[in-house]
């Protein structure tokens, strides 16, 4: 496995979120605390209703931002081999003024008024449909950046995309994302712990979600993890079975949950238990 370290002067991780990491940050981050400025919306409200969705089209892989794997804040992320058929359900956040005009992980310039987004593992660039499960609103965005590097988030939306989905006011929202590039018509499922083996809540609710902490081919392994998580609340930690490619996987999930702030507190507990490397929201 390649061990790739970035040293190009791209801005987002210098402010705690981007993939490409300047050498100066690598030096100072090991010394003391790093001051992080807060992100914000434009100084004046902007009408984004007329901003068109991104139009999917075939594009070559970006020369930047697609390593086999990369490390941010001590956690290794693996870029997917294939985006085909990818769907995921979880919590979306957004980024705006702080990064406007800076270079994205793919090399493009971030424009908070464009319909773009950041994802940790999808091949760049790719187009995805994002649905706010709370209100049913949908947009199509171009994913050209890496992030968000928060344990409990799956996608970072541009200011315009987040505004059109009514995400900006609350800061986060439960969403479903789906690759819409016409070249991607079938999917793959990973058996790694924490892989998104299913993207819908088992009760069919669009308001509730689960924190998936592990997915195992052996029930005993799932039971062992469930027992380890008993301190979080026995009634919340559940094992469910799903069949993928004619094989059974046993998922260890926490939920159902409807409060994102409460879910964030649970994630902090998982970090203390050293189970945060396997978290998936679905």
Domains of the chain listed by start with CATH number: 12-179 (2.40.40.10), 209-281 (3.30.70.1070)
Contact 280, 196 (CB under 8 A): yes
Query: pLDDT tens digit string along 81-139?
Result: 999 899 998 899 999 888 888 899 999 999 999 999 999 999 999 999 999 988 999 99
Across 12-21, 159-168, 197-206, 228-237, which has the greatest mean pLDDT?
Answer: 159-168
* pLDDT at position 197 over 90: no
28-37, 168-177, 272-281, range with greatest mean pLDDT = 168-177
Which of these ranges, 50-59, 212-221, 254-263, has the smallest mean pLDDT? 254-263
Question: Given this model, what pLDDT does residue 57 score?
Answer: 92
Distance, C-alpha 235 to centroid of its chain: 27
Q: Do residues 141 and 130 make contact, with C-beta atoms less than 8 angstroms apart?
A: yes
**Could you tell me the strand order of the sheet in which 237-244 lies?**
237-244, 247-257, 209-216, 280-281
Q: Quick: pLDDT tens for 1-41.
A: 333 333 333 334 433 344 433 322 222 233 333 334 467 66
Sequence-ordered alpha helix ranges (H) in the chain: 23-29, 159-164, 219-228, 260-272
* Separation of alpha carbons 275 and 225, rounded Å: 9
């Amino acid at each position: 496995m390649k061990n790739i370290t970035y040293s190009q002067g791209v801005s987002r991780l210098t402010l705690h979120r981007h993939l490409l990491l300047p050498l100066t940050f690598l030096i100072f981050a090991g010394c003391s605390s790093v001051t992080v400025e807060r992100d914000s919306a434009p100084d004046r409200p902007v009408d984004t209703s007329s901003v068109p969705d991104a139009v999917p089209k075939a594009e070559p892989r970006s020369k930047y931002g697609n390593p086999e794997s990369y490390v941010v804040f001590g956690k290794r992320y693996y870029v997917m081999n294939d985006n085909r058929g990818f769907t995921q359900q979880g919590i979306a956040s957004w980024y705006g003024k702080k990064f406007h005009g800076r270079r994205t992980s793919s090399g493009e310039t971030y424009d908070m008024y464009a319909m773009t987004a950041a994802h940790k593992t999808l091949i760049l660039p790719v187009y995805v449909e994002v649905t706010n499960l709370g209100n049913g609103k949908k947009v199509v965005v171009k994913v050209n950046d890496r992030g968000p590097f928060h344990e409990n988030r799956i996608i970072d939306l541009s200011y315009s995309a987040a505004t059109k989905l009514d995400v900006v006011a609350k800061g986060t929202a439960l969403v479903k994302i789906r690759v819409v590039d016409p070249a991607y018509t079938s999917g793959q499922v990973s058996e790694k712990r924490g892989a998104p083996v299913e993207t819908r809540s088992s009760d069919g609710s669009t308001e509730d979600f689960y924190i998936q902490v592990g997915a195992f081919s052996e029930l005993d392994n799932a039971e062992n993890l469930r027992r380890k998580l008993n301190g979080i609340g026995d009634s919340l930690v559940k094992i469910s079975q799903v069949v993928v490619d004619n094989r059974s996987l046993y998922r260890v999930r926490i939920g159902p949950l409807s409060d994102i702030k409460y879910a964030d507190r649970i994630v902090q507990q998982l970090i203390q238990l050293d189970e945060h490397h396997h978290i998936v929201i679905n």
